Structure 1
């Protein structure tokens, strides 16, 4: 990569340079596909500054990658917030937020892989429970409880289950794009709808029912006379 020389930054432009460094790191992540292929030297070359200029903002590469991931979580949260139509029911908004999550992952696959990869305890990469995306999911689950579509209680286990569904389909669509998924949006929609509705049904049947119990419940539902 040919070094790019840039003029000396004016005083007070540190925030702008920091943003450029984060943009360059995100670009390298997208280009290489994993954090191991990103180096401070490559970032400095892409931005057009010396490596010491990078170290004025970030102690090391790990801190730089964590900052990129933290920003990705902020962007993810923003995308999910934008998808929530207040005119919809809480259950519908939960599905729409899940779809926004999947779309973001597909549009930013490298950052998403790094954000969801195993990390040292306490690192920004693993601060899932305090992320805006998690908190938004939790708020909407509480609203489902208020509407009566989910049993009132601690929303955290439910959010983790729904997160697992969104992460699962997003990761598979990224890792195995050539499988016969059909229309991607429709596939993700079915998976997330099944997760949302399935959780509500489990609340009606009982926690962790056996498959035969679910079959019996469905049979009784089919045989029930239609409501007048």
Structure 2
């Protein structure tokens, strides 16, 4: 691949070039399906600059990959924000956010795998982790906190419930990507059913003697027998 000629950037346009570099790196990831094909030289060719120009903005390939992942999480948060807009009921908003997470992941499989494939050493969160914590994760926290304020969840369990809900959405998305031929239904019906069941089940465990699974099963059995 040859380097395309690029006009000299005007003074103060370094941020614009950095954005172009991040976009080009993301495009290469999507086109090739893995990060091994995203070299500094390949990105420079895509943008139309020389490799040294890339290093003015990113120390190395790993730093550029981190920037791509951070941008991905920002866009994920945008999708979750759009799904939350106008949804006054906090429970429905939580489901909307979870489904937005799943839909975005399935629509962007390569970037999703790359972004979540970077391990985080315990006690040493990266810039990418900080972006995720300040975006999609904090959105889950805000919604679950609102539900706790309404008495749906125990305020002491907010962090645990957020983690469980996030894990459920992440697991569903990962399974949909790995096994798209399973019976997911039209418009992700199965995924929505799973998230609904998880959230309602978690709420049931926090009511009355719900902390005892045996008691919960007994109440459910009594309800079914009453219906029959």
Q: Same fold (TM over 0.5)?
A: yes
Residue in structure 1 matching 2:210, options 206, 213, 221: 206
Rounded to whole Å, the distance in 2 between the matches of 1:152 and 1:8 is 55
Q: Residue 92 of structure 1 corresponds to which residue in structure 2?
A: 92
Alignment of 1:101-180 (within 5 A): 101-121=101-121, 122-127=125-130, 130-180=133-183
Q: Residue 76 of structure 1 corresponds to which residue in structure 2?
A: 76
Question: How many residue pairs end up in the alignment?
Answer: 223
Change (3 A) 1:75 1:87: closer
Matched, 1:2 2:2: yes
Structure 2 length-normalised TM: 0.89
Change (3 A) 1:125 1:25: same
Change (3 A) 1:85 1:148: farther
Deviations 1:28-55 (A, max 9, x none): 1111222233111111111111000000
Change (3 A) 1:129 1:106: closer
- Asked whether the equivalents of residues 72 and 111 of structure 1 are also in contact (C-alpha less than 8 Å), the reply is yes
Rounded to whole Å, the distance in 2 between the matches of 1:139 and 1:39 is 38
State the Cα distance separating 1:82 from its structure 2 match. Answer: 1.4
Rounded to whole Å, the distance in 2 between the matches of 1:184 and 1:196 is 20
Rounded to whole Å, the distance in 1 between the matches of 2:23 and 2:80 is 21
Tell which deviates more after alignment, 174-183 or 190-199.
174-183
Q: Over aligned residues, Cα RMSD in angstroms?
A: 2.0
Deviations 1:153-202 (A, max 9, x none): 24111111000110011111122222332224212211111121111011
- Asked whether the equivalents of residues 184 and 191 of structure 2 are also in contact (C-alpha less than 8 Å), the reply is no
Q: Residue 15 of structure 2 corresponds to which residue in structure 1?
A: 15
Q: Residue 197 of structure 1 corresponds to which residue in structure 2?
A: 200
Q: Residue 220 of structure 1 corresponds to which residue in structure 2?
A: 222
Structure 1 length-normalised TM: 0.89
- Asked whether the equivalents of residues 105 and 112 of structure 1 are also in contact (C-alpha less than 8 Å), the reply is yes
Rounded to whole Å, the distance in 2 between the matches of 1:126 and 1:69 is 9
Rounded to whole Å, the distance in 2 between the matches of 1:201 and 1:150 is 9
Rounded to whole Å, the distance in 2 between the matches of 1:31 and 1:171 is 20
Secondary structure of 2:156's aligned partner: coil
- Asked whether the equivalents of residues 91 and 149 of structure 1 are also in contact (C-alpha less than 8 Å), the reply is no
Rounded to whole Å, the distance in 2 between the matches of 1:14 and 1:7 is 13
Please list every run of 5 or more consecutive structure 2 residues that lacks an aligned counterpart in the other structure: none
